[in-house]
Amino acid sequence: MKQDKHPPYGPVVFRDRSAGYAFLTKSTAVSEQTIEWDDGNTYPVIDVEISSESHPFYTGNARPVDPEGEIAKFERRYGKGEGGGEQAR
């Protein structure tokens, strides 16, 4: 492996401020900001907009998709197709 070709790989804290959640992992991401972690060490911190703690899919707050309602709305807007679903040529 060539030297100085790959970015440094080390511990980094990713913090989701909206959920009040942070986790320590290894990454090549860099940051000027630092945070003191539970183990007493200081690590670079990356603020993220969304994580598994705040994403609607993982929190169960996702809106269910109503395909029948969407189809009805489409048919109201554009009308039902004439000719049994076949397109005119």
How confident is residue 18, by pLDDT bands cut at 50, 70 and 90? Answer: confident
Cα gap 89→18, rounded to integer Å: 54
**More confident of the two residues 57 and 36:** 36
Cα gap 18→49, rounded to integer Å: 7
How confident is residue 75, by pLDDT bands cut at 50, 70 and 90? Answer: confident
pLDDT over threshold 50, residue 42: yes
**More confident of the two residues 77 and 27:** 27
Residue percentage of the chain with pLDDT more than 90: 37
